[in-house]
């Protein structure tokens, strides 16, 4: 391989930064921070370049680089972008830069912190850029470890240790299940290559036996599901995010968490479409657990961080729903939701982190009426929270609506409830947060707040908000790039649908639609 | 008779005798030099071993001794481990009141035993080599003879070791009686006819008991925590790496070279043993406060992981074991190096004495954390890729026998449990602050060098496993699978 | 020796082996445990010799030779340990050797 | 162009002029006035039936799903455009005066412009999705406006309530959209309309359901029963906001939407719509007669009038509905602005029983207010008469029961409006503030005057022509037809016309009798408990509060406890605890006693042997 | 026939004294155990002779009885070990021990019982004589390597024993 792909550079920068930081003396705080900012900025610029140069009309992955790594079992370092991940990488790079920006809140052990942060960022970007099953997993794990350590070391709150353990154990279980699934997939496909592209092609030509599919798919589904906090394996998420330092929460909730969803779309569905069909019903109902159940839980939270955490879990439900619908619209919607939620989660956690630094608590019964004191942060927060309940103009709305359109035909009943979750439940808890924290009369004791005035301080928030608005106003920027790849996935899924029993599914639709007819008057209250 | 094949072992033995002799005349203050000399000598032999190439298996002493890629792989492995442990012993020498020269010598002799074991192609040689290792370890374990823990560990190891030896001898007797030979080649030749003979199977089982004791597999694992805890730290390190690897290589040889048919019949046994060992080690390690004891339990768990590869009864499984051991070597030695140095300051291996290590010595803290992370099987370190290969090998067999899937689940549960206590160590190292009285720890240059070597080894194996994997795959070609 | 075959010898050796094992399991003096271990090794030797004789193969007897040597070495190290231990603890009871547990 | 001016203004204000009141006001007003003028210009040039009926641009497309953004210009939207820009413009100008003291006026005007933008978006939208998007945006901008004084708990609560109630409606709306899309495969009004025309049964069995779901959206936005509760509370916002949102434009969006998608609604759905409209109008009117807050009276009156419009739609009368919408927009805005003027003059006093005698002190306000009231009550020749009359006629022809209700409502309307007039403007001052009130400044009264023009004259030219589709009926109206039109109600449907006038007259008389010189409300004495029931709005808020507490809160509590105890506690902690326990238990095996180890060793061997050789 | 009788006698005596080593109902003194161990070894040497392993029989007596047991006794005397104190008699432990050992024995015996009786019927009469010369030959030619390793082992044991038991080193 003579040339080195832009993507490789994109991944390389954070790692290079990490190495440089490791070599710098620990007193050079400014230099350390500058290195972190610069390396993430370079990555961001490269990601933008890749995004702009990406040609959606070509189905094959672009900016590819492939280097044989372990010859004996067919692992190679293979990176590249196609429609499925181009947006995610861009989103990841944006969030990474923003995360590096907000890391100024760290006051102890800068060196270790930025080192871990950059490793995490590199891992995240790598996980999404990988076209090799092994590296896909490898980078993800690489990003997870700094997550745990950062939560433990720089986390906040009393039970951060418990949270660290919980998030560690949960995510490890998920990752390991997925790993087993991936290995099994590799072996059942012949055990010659870990290359995703080759595997997808091979498996679409000669699909796996149904028994194998039904064995492997649930492993991947639940393994990835746990990583994305699929209900009922979600309890790690709110707690973990509440305890995590801001940048970690941003990166994990925003980007790394999407790994599971991405894996489902990238691997599980195209490679095992038949099993996907039989399992998607399960997923569709579990995602209701995310949307409704976690939505309700979010309504009860007293701590803003827990609320955001639960709402982030709830939002994952929409992505699951989109995936469960197994059609072009749904999958595109799921990816849109992933990107949008990534930006949004990063933004909300960044803001929550800012508030926390000012107030040292985020309990909603204690802090009230902050808006007049911090107009900038307050306004951005309100916009973020409103985006969280699916307001048009923000990218989330586009994603969610697309998901609804995609899922409606498959699961009208589930979709109806999800719409309820998106519009009503989401509205209730987000507005509640706005109402208590920003609106209303100010509380005594919180009148020494300082707003973000410095343009550099404002930059991450504006960057994230701007991206949200940009994709919200011009969703075609994303959707046109996603569509061909999503279409390929949906087509693979559709092939299997035709081969499986079509009668059953229509029956299901009819019963479900009669259900909806009866359920509508009651659900209107 | 091709005696020249044993050149490496002979070199080690000669080195040992030389050290023993030089020790007699060396003044007290130059003792340190002795250790460095021994380590350098082993290192030299290691380097020299790369001059040897074995395209195919070569035999000596009437096919009793074999030199093949597998043997060479393990010889190098043991030499590497030996060099590091010797360096570690130098660091440890002030805590051994008497006979440090003898300590080095016995380590070298144990090393030669391991190297013989790697080449053993005859049950008698297996027995003798194992006994050399074991007896050497009896002495090494109880070397701190003023420390009751060390003596206690020695007694425990001795009694259980002798018990295991007895079983092994009995097993060898039965195998000899039924197959009428102790040579692997002959056993393989007649295995078809005797593999249904219960007496032969009994013999194999008894031999497995003996080896199971060495690698601390369930149900012969009881000694491990006590002995790990009580022994001088370099001994523990060598025990964890060398003794276990010797047991594994013999297990592999016997099962896959001599009686492969039986091995493939006994998968259920191997699966159960592997699974239970993993669970036992990890569960017991959970509430552990003594770091060395924790590593003892963890070594049981790792024996279980290694047995995964054995249970897979496949080339992939065997090569995964080799790779895994290589990673384990760097990881465990790194961990014990840190423990050794920290315990030099406070004679206590309780996890609490590692509190705030990050402030006292960032290098040691990072090393210990990396080691723990690698043991837990997290990328990008060696432990991850090793587990990956092992799991892959096991899943590969899953199509033939569903029990393998259960084994995979058990292994996963084990990994998750292990995360808890490994990260607990990391937490102690980084989360807490040192108590005021504790000064920062100085690390001598050779040790620093050694630590770097271990870290580089972990990272190299984790990041660029290609070479090691190829090496392992080539080494296991000797098996009749 | 018509009536006495290999299995008789083996049964005897197995019985002796198990007697030794029983001793290891139940006796509490480390010394007696060592003796029991010797019994076990001797039982194995008996089996080896019998096997050797009935197979017409001398290797078994060579093995016995080695076993005896190893046993002697083990016992000597073990006894030295006991001496060292006794100096520290004034006891050779296994129940006194439980500083490390759990 | 019209659409984006306010958006640009909003962005401009946010980015550049948040601190500068004058600039932001100027930007905002300029944008909307320009929009108004442009609309007029457009109509003047192209007439009511422009050649370029619809221009669209693809916004987003995936597979079957095509979301297009377009501008649809037809009489319906042009009329609405005029209303929004015209009335809205007046309100903008008025706001300049009303908000001159407020330090956050910049934010106010930004929100106002955003609102106008969204509203225009709804009006001009060419497809369902676009409409839904702007629909939501209207919701949020109204949220911002109602909660403008967010430091006040009541305002913050009201805005939250408004948004959430709207959301409930939107829920149905979106489901309806999904349903329509699923069966017809398009979201474009034009395509849909032709599809429905080509095949009336295209929606199949779900037609009623889909129609009603879409109607849900209107129920939320136009505050129909049972989602009417937000509107009165929304009066917590600044008065121009009340005028803009809750009188003229936002609430009208529901009616407009119904007219826009009228082709999708089948008979059963319309039946339901009509009844809901009728019921809402009656309910609101009854509640209105016992309210004391000047803005709340107007709010309930708005509710009632919206009920009228919805009922009209339900009775197949989109034209009357739009007609009434237009006229209502102008006179209700007028009334609100008048009320605002009063409130402003009385230093934010809103209780009518603390006013009185304002006629002399605030003549402009009074007279314009009176004009508005007369129009609202349907007294000829004011505009309200004509539009209301058309609805009555429609009801008369289609559903006599609803006709009865409508007449009753007309009477009640006249009653409570004149109660307001008598109590607030006539008589003597009942408080210090009202005694010293002064007329508002010109910037506030000029919109009043401006708005009173259509209030008075809008009825003269009617709007039937617009929808009939023949000829160009613009501003230039021939006097003959105008005169003829003036009397047409009496000629072609005398019954309903006279019923309306009669009812109104009766109401006025009753109000005159009761409140001519009343210093306190005599009604509570007359009807006792019922009064307090009415005053408390039939306890709808309380019932809803309970309902929500019982449903969502209970569900939330349930979920939370399941999360906390079952998943987090039982499962996670249970598994963790079991593991830990197993570890501790197993550890006990390691007694440290070599004998135990040996024993376990022996047991292990025994087990091993048994396992392998026990069953040969 | 004589051999048969001798076999049974020696076997019986071996086992009996073996039992008395580990479970002497009369004495718990290590010295007694050691003495019975000598007996066991002597009787076993008899069995060796019956198996024509004359050299090994001699070695057995010389090494074990002559050296190992003496070592035992030496240590016992050196440390002046008294009777094994009977603290709590762990009946449960002993019971489980008996059970486990009995099951091991049962399983072993059962396995041994499965050998085809041809071995004992005398069909293939064993002719091997465990004489010194062939043994020595094998030991120093074929088994040179293990022999040498054993020498290292003995060296290790020697060094170890000296280190462990020496009272004060330097």
Which of E33, E59, E135 lies closest to C32 in CB terms? E33
Residue of C nearest to E15 (CA): C16
pLDDT at A182: 86
Supply A446's token pair.
Answer: 């919180």
pLDDT at D19: 55
- Provide the shortest C-alpha distance from residue B432 to chain E (in Å): 40
C94 touches D at CB < 8 Å: yes
pLDDT per residue over D14-25, tens digit each? Answer: 655 555 566 666
ipTM, interface predicted TM-score of the complex: 0.82
- The verdict on residue B371 lying in a domain is yes
Residue of D nearest to B279 (CA): D583
d(CA E3, CA E9): 10
Residues of E with CB under 8 A from a CB of D: 93, 96-97, 100-101, 103-104, 107-108, 110-111, 114
User: The CATH number of the domain where C62 resides is what?
Assistant: 1.10.287.3510
Q: What is the largest CA-CA distance in chain B?
A: 70
Contact assessment for residue D30 and residue D85, using Cβ atoms and an 8 Å cutoff: no
Between B175 and A275, the higher pLDDT residue: B175
- The verdict on residue C1 lying in a domain is no
Between E10 and A513, the higher pLDDT residue: E10
pLDDT at B365: 87
Which of C24, C26, C94 lies closest to D593 in CB terms? C94
> What is the pLDDT averaged over residues D21-42?
70
pLDDT of residue D399 exceeding 50: yes
Q: In degrees, to the nearest 5, what angle opens at C-alpha D394 toward C-alphas D388 and D396?
A: 100
The answer to whether D613 contacts E96, with C-beta atoms less than 8 Å apart, is no
d(CA E152, CA B51): 26
Give the DSSP H/E element, type plus range, for residue D54: strand D54-62
D positions 273-292 inside 8 Å of A (CB): none
Report chain D's mean pLDDT, rounded to a whole number.
Answer: 73
- Among the ranges given (B142-156, C6-20, D226-240), the one the predictor scored with the smallest mean pLDDT: D226-240
C positions 44-83 inside 8 Å of B (CB): 44-45, 47-48, 50-52, 54-55, 57, 59-60, 62-63, 66-67, 70, 73-74, 77-78, 81-82
Contact assessment for residue D443 and residue D535, using Cβ atoms and an 8 Å cutoff: no
pLDDT-derived band of residue E123, with 50, 70 and 90 as boundaries? very low
pLDDT at D33: 73
Supply A41's token pair.
Answer: 């900025």
pLDDT of residue B297 exceeding 70: yes
Q: Which residues, in sequence order, are CB contacts of D135 under 8 Å at separation 6+? A: D122, D170, D173, D217, D221, D253, D257
Q: In degrees, to the nearest 5, what angle opens at C-alpha A312 toward C-alphas A307 and A315?
A: 125
Residue of B nearest to D588 (CA): B284
**Backbone phi and psi for residue D61, each to the nearest 5 degrees, phi listed first:** -150, 130
- The verdict on residue B198 lying in a domain is no
Q: Which of B285-294, D26-35, D79-88, D420-429 has the largest mean confidence?
A: B285-294
pLDDT per residue over D332-370, tens digit each? Answer: 777 777 777 777 777 767 777 777 666 677 777 777 777
Instruction: Return left, alpha or beta for E110; rule: phi > 0 is left, psi -120 to 50 is alpha, else beta.
Output: alpha
Contact A/E (≥3 CB pairs under 8 Å): no
pLDDT-derived band of residue D465, with 50, 70 and 90 as boundaries? very low
Contact assessment for residue A333 and residue A399, using Cβ atoms and an 8 Å cutoff: yes
- The verdict on residue B103 lying in a domain is no
| Enclosing domain of residue C37 | 6-98
**Neighbour count for residue A501 (Cβ, 10 Å):** 10
d(CA B52, CA B326): 20
d(CA D118, CA D114): 6
The answer to whether B384 contacts A70, with C-beta atoms less than 8 Å apart, is no
B285 touches D at CB < 8 Å: yes
d(CA B172, CA B186): 14
Query: What's A76's DSSP letter?
Result: E
pLDDT of residue B50 exceeding 50: yes
- State the count of interchain CB pairs (< 8 A) between B and E: 81
pLDDT per residue over D116-169, tens digit each? Answer: 778 877 877 778 888 888 888 888 888 888 877 777 777 777 888 888 888 888
Which of D583, D589, D601 lies closest to B287 in CB terms? D583
pLDDT per residue over B423-457, tens digit each? Answer: 888 888 877 777 776 777 788 888 888 899 999 99
| Enclosing domain of residue B430 | 281-481
Burial class of residue D464, CB neighbours in 10 A (0-12, 13-18, 19+) = middle
Domain total of chain A = 1
Q: Residues of C with CB below 8 A from D591's CB?
A: 98, 101-102
d(CA E93, CA B242): 34
Q: Which long-range contacts (CB under 8 A, 24 or more apart) does D98-103 make?
A: D98/D238, D98/D239, D98/D240, D98/D340, D98/D344, D98/D444, D99/D21, D99/D25, D99/D238, D99/D240, D100/D21, D102/D21, D102/D238, D103/D21
Domain total of chain B = 1
Q: Residues of B with CB below 8 A from D581's CB?
A: none
C25 touches B at CB < 8 Å: no
Q: Which of B296-310, D347-361, E138-152 has the largest mean confidence?
A: B296-310
- Provide the shortest C-alpha distance from residue C49 to chain D (in Å): 24
Domain total of chain C = 1
The answer to whether A423 contacts D171, with C-beta atoms less than 8 Å apart, is yes
| Enclosing domain of residue A319 | 6-518
> What is the pLDDT averaged over residues D485-504?
65
pLDDT per residue over E62-97, tens digit each? Answer: 888 888 888 888 888 888 766 555 555 567 778 888
pLDDT per residue over D265-324, tens digit each? Answer: 777 788 888 888 888 888 888 777 777 777 777 788 888 888 888 888 887 777 777 777
Contact E/C (≥3 CB pairs under 8 Å): yes
- Weakly modelled stretches of chain A, pLDDT under 70: 1-3, 443-449, 452, 496-525
Give the helix ranges, DSSP H, for B346-381. Answer: 357-360, 362-376
- Provide the shortest C-alpha distance from residue A306 to chain B (in Å): 24
pLDDT at A513: 44
- The verdict on residue A524 lying in a domain is no
- The verdict on residue A523 lying in a domain is no
pLDDT at D545: 67
A183 touches B at CB < 8 Å: yes
- The verdict on residue A525 lying in a domain is no
Give the helix ranges, DSSP H, for B69-180. Answer: 69-92, 100-119, 123-141, 148-179
Which of D596, D599, D610 lies closest to E107 in CB terms? D610
Between B315 and A165, the higher pLDDT residue: B315
Q: Residues of A with CB below 8 A from B384's CB?
A: 138, 141
The answer to whether E163 contacts B65, with C-beta atoms less than 8 Å apart, is no
pLDDT at B245: 92
- Provide the shortest C-alpha distance from residue B354 to chain E (in Å): 31
């Amino acid at each position: 391989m003579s040339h080195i792909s832009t993507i490789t550079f994109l991944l390389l920068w954070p790692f290079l930064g990490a190495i440089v930081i490791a070599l710098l003396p620990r007193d050079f705080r400014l230099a350390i921070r500058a290195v972190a900012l610069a390396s993430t900025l370079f990555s961001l610029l490269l990601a933008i370049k890749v995004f702009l140069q990406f040609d959606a009309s070509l189905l094959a992955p672009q900016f590819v680089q492939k280097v044989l790594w372990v010859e004996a079992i067919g692992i190679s370092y293979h990176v590249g972008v196609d429609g499925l991940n181009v947006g995610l990488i861009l989103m990841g790079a944006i969030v990474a830069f923003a995360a590096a920006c907000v890391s100024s809140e760290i006051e102890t052990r800068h060196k270790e912190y930025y080192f871990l942060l950059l490793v995490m960022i590199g891992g995240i970007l790598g996980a999404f850029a990988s076209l090799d099953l092994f590296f896909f997993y490898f980078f993800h794990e690489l990003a997870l470890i700094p997550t745990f350590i950062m939560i433990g070391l720089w986390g906040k709150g009393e039970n951060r240790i418990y949270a660290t353990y919980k998030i560690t154990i949960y995510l490890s279980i998920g990752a390991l299940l997925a790993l087993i699934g991936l290995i099994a997939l590799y072996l059942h496909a012949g055990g010659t290559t870990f290359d995703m592209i080759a595997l997808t092609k091979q498996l679409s030509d000669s699909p796996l036996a149904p028994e194998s599919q039904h064995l492997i798919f649930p492993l991947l589904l639940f393994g990835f599901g746990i990583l994305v906090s699929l209900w009922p394996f979600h309890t790690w998420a709110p707690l973990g995010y509440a305890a995590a330092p801001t940048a970690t929460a941003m990166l994990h909730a925003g980007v790394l968490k999407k790994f599971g969803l991405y894996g489902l779309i990238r691997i599980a569905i195209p490679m095992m479409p038949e099993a996907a069909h039989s399992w998607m019903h399960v997923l569709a109902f579990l995602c209701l657990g995310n949307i409704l159940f976690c939505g309700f839980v979010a309504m009860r939270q007293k701590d803003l961080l827990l609320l955001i955490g639960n709402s982030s879990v709830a939002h994952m439900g929409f992505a699951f729903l989109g995936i469960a619908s197994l059609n072009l619209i749904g999958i595109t919607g799921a990816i849109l939701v992933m990107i949008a939620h990534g930006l949004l989660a990063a933004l909300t956690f960044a803001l929550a982190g800012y508030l926390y630094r000012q107030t040292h608590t985020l309990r909603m019964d204690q802090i009230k009426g902050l808006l007049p004191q911090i107009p900038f942060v307050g306004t951005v927060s309100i916009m973020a929270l409103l985006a969280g309940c699916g307001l048009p103009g923000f990218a989330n709305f586009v994603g969610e609506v697309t998901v609804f359109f995609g899922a409606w035909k498959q699961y009208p009943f589930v979709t109806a409830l999800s719409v309820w979750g998106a519009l009503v439940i989401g509205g209730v808890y987000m507005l509640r947060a706005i109402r208590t924290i920003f609106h209303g009369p100010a509380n005594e004791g919180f009148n020494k707040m300082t707003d973000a005035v410095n343009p550099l301080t404002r930059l991450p928030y504006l960057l994230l908000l701007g991206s949200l608005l940009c994709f919200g106003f011009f969703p075609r920027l994303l959707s046109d790039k996603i569509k061909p790849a999503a279409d390929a996935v949906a087509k693979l899924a559709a092939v299997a649908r035709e081969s499986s029993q079509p009668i059953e599914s229509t029956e299901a639709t009819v019963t479900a639609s009669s259900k909806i007819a009866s359920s509508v008057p009651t659900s209107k209250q | 008779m091709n005696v020249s094949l044993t050149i490496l072992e002979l070199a080690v033995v000669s080195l040992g005798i030389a050290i023993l002799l030089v020790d007699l005349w060396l003044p007290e203050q130059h003792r340190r030099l002795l250790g460095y000399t021994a380590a350098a000598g082993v290192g030299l032999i290691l380097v020299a071993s790369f001059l040897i190439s074995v395209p195919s298996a070569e035999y000596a002493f009437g096919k009793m001794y074999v030199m093949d890629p597998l043997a060479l792989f393990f010889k190098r492995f043991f030499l590497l481990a030996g060099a590091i442990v010797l360096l570690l012993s130098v660091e440890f020498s002030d805590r051994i009141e008497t006979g440090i020269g003898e300590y080095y010598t016995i380590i070298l002799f144990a090393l030669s035993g391991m190297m013989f074991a790697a080449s053993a192609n005859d049950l008698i040689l297996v027995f003798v080599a194992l006994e050399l290792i074991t007896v050497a370890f009896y002495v090494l374990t109880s070397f701190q003879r003023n420390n009751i823990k060390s003596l206690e560990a020695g007694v425990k190891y001795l009694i259980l070791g002798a018990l295991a030896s007895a079983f092994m001898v009995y097993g060898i007797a039965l195998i000899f009686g039924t197959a009428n030979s102790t040579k692997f080649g002959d056993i393989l030749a007649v295995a078809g006819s005797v593999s249904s003979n219960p007496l032969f199977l009994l013999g194999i089982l008894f031999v497995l008991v003996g080896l199971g004791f060495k690698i601390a597999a369930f149900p012969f694992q009881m000694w491990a925590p006590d002995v790990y805890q009580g022994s001088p730290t370099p001994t523990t390190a060598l025990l964890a790496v060398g003794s276990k690897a010797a047991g594994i290589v013999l297990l592999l040889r016997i099962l896959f070279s001599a009686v492969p048919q039986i091995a493939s019949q006994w998968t259920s046994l191997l699966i159960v043993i592997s699974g239970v060992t993993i669970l036992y080690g990890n569960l017991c390690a959970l509430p552990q406060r003594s770091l060395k004891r924790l590593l003892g339990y963890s070594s049981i768990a790792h024996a279980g992981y290694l047995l995964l590869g054995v249970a897979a009864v496949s080339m992939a499984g065997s090569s995964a074991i080799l790779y895994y051991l290589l990673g384990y070597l760097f990881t465990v030695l790194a961990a014990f190096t840190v423990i050794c140095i920290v315990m030099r300051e406070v004679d206590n291996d309780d996890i609490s004495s590692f509190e705030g290590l990050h402030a006292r010595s960032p290098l040691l803290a990072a090393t210990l954390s990396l080691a723990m992370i690698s043991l837990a099987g997290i990328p990008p370190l060696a432990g991850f890729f090793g587990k990956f290969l092992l799991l892959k090998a096991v899943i590969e067999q899953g199509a033939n026998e569903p029990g393998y899937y259960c084994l995979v689940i058990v292994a996963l549960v084990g990994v998750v449990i292990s995360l808890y206590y490994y990260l607990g160590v990391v937490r102690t190292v980084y989360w807490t602050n040192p108590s005021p009285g504790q000064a920062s720890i100085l690390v001598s240059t050779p040790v620093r060098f050694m630590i770097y070597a271990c870290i580089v080894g972990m990272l190299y194996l984790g990041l660029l496993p290609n070479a090691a994997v190829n090496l392992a795959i080539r080494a296991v070609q000797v098996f009749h699978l | 020796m018509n009536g006495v075959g290999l299995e008789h010898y083996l049964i005897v050796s197995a019985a002796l082996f198990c007697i030794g094992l029983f001793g290891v399991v139940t006796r509490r003096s480390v010394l007696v445990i060592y003796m029991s271990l010797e019994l076990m090794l001797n039982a194995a030797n008996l089996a080896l010799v019998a096997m050797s004789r009935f197979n017409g193969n001398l290797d078994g007897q060579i093995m016995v030779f080695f076993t005896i040597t190893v046993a002697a070495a083990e016992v000597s190290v073990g006894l030295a340990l006991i001496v060292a231990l006794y100096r520290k603890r004034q006891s050779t009871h296994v129940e006194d050797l439980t500083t490390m547990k759990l | 162009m019209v659409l984006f001016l306010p958006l640009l203004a909003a962005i401009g204000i946010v980015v550049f002029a948040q601190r500068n009141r004058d600039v932001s006001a100027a930007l905002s007003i300029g944008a909307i006035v320009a929009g108004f003028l442009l609309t007029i210009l457009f109509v003047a040039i192209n007439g009511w039936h422009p050649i370029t009926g619809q221009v669209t641009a693809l916004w987003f497309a995936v597979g079957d799903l095509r979301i297009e953004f377009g501008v649809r210009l037809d009489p319906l939207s042009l009329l609405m455009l005029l209303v929004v820009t015209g009335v809205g413009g007046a309100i903008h100008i008025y706001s300049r005066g009303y908000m001159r003291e407020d330090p956050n006026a910049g934010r106010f005007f930004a929100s106002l412009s955003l609102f106008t933008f969204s509203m225009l978006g709804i009006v001009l939208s060419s497809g369902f999705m676009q409409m839904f998007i702007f629909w939501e945006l209207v919701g949020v901008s109204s949220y911002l406006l109602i909660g403008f004084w967010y430091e006040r708990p009541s305002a913050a609560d009201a805005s939250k309530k408004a948004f959430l109630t709207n959301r409930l409606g939107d829920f149905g709306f979106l489901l309806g959209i999904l349903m329509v899309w699923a069966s017809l495969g398009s979201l474009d009004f034009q395509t849909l309309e032709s599809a429905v025309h080509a095949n009336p049964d295209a929606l199949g069995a779900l037609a009623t359901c889909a129609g009603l779901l879409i109607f849900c959206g209107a129920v939320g936005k136009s505050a129909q029963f049972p989602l009417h509760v937000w509107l009165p509370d929304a009066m917590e916002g600044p008065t121009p906001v009340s005028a803009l949102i809750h009188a003229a434009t936002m609430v009208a969006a529901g009616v407009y939407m119904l007219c826009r998608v009228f082709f999708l609604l089948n008979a059963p759905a319309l039946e339901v719509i009509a009844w809901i409209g009728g019921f809402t109008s009656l309910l609101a009117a009854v509640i209105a007669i016992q309210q004391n807050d000047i803005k709340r009276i107007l709010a309930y009156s708005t509710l009632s009038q919206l009920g009228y419009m919805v009922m009209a739609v339900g009775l197949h009368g989109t034209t009357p509905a739009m007609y009434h919408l237009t006229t209502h927009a102008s006179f209700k805005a007028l009334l609100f602005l008048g009320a605002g003027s009063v409130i402003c003059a009385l230093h934010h006093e809103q209780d009518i029983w603390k006013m009185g005698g304002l006629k002399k002190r605030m003549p402009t306000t009074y007279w314009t207010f009176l004009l508005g009231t007369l129009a609202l009550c349907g007294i000829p020749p004011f505009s309200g008469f004509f539009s209301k009359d058309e609805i009555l006629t429609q009801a008369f022809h289609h559903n006599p029961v609803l006709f009865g209700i409508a007449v009753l409502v007309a009477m009640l309307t006249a009653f409570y409006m004149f109660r307001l007039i008598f109590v607030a403007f006539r008589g003597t001052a009942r408080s210090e503030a009202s005694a010293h009130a002064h007329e508002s400044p010109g910037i506030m009264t000029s919109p009043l005057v401006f708005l009173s023009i259509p209030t008075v004259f809008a009825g003269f030219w009617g709007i039937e022509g617009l929808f009939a589709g023949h000829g160009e009926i613009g501003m230039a109206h021939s006097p003959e037809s105008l005169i003829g039109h003036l009397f047409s109600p009496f000629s072609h449907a005398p019954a309903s016309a006279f019923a309306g006038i009669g009812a109104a007259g009766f109401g006025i008389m009753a109000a005159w009798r009761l409140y001519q010189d009343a210093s306190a409300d005599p009604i509570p004495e007359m009807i006792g408990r019922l009064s307090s029931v009415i005053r408390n709005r039939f306890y709808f808020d309380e019932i809803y509060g309970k309902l929500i507490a019982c449903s969502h809160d209970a569900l939330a509590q349930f979920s939370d406890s399941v999360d906390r105890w079952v998943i987090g506690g039982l499962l996670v902690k249970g598994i963790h605890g079991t593991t830990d326990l197993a570890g501790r238990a197993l550890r006990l095996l390691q007694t440290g006693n070599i004998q135990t180890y040996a024993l376990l060793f022996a047991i292990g061997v025994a087990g091993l042997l048994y396992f392998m050789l026990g069953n040969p | 026939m004589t051999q048969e009788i001798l076999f049974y006698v020696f076997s019986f005596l071996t086992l009996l004294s073996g039992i008395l080593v580990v479970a002497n109902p009369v004495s718990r003194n290590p010295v007694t155990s050691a003495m019975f161990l000598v007996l066991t070894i002597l009787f076993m040497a008899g069995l060796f002779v019956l198996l024509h392993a004359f050299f090994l029989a001699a070695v057995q007596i010389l090494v074990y009885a002559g050296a190992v047991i003496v070592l035992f006794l030496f240590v016992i005397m050196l440390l002046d070990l008294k009777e094994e104190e009977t603290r709590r008699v762990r009946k449960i432990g002993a019971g489980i021990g008996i059970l486990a050992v009995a099951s091991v024995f049962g399983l072993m015996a059962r396995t041994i019982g499965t050998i085809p009786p041809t071995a004992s019927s005398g069909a293939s009469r064993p002719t091997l004589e465990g004489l010194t010369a062939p043994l020595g030959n094998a030991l120093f030619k074929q088994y040179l390597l293990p022999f040498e390793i054993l020498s290292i082992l003995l060296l290790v044991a020697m060094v170890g024993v000296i280190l462990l038991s020496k009272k004060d080193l330097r």
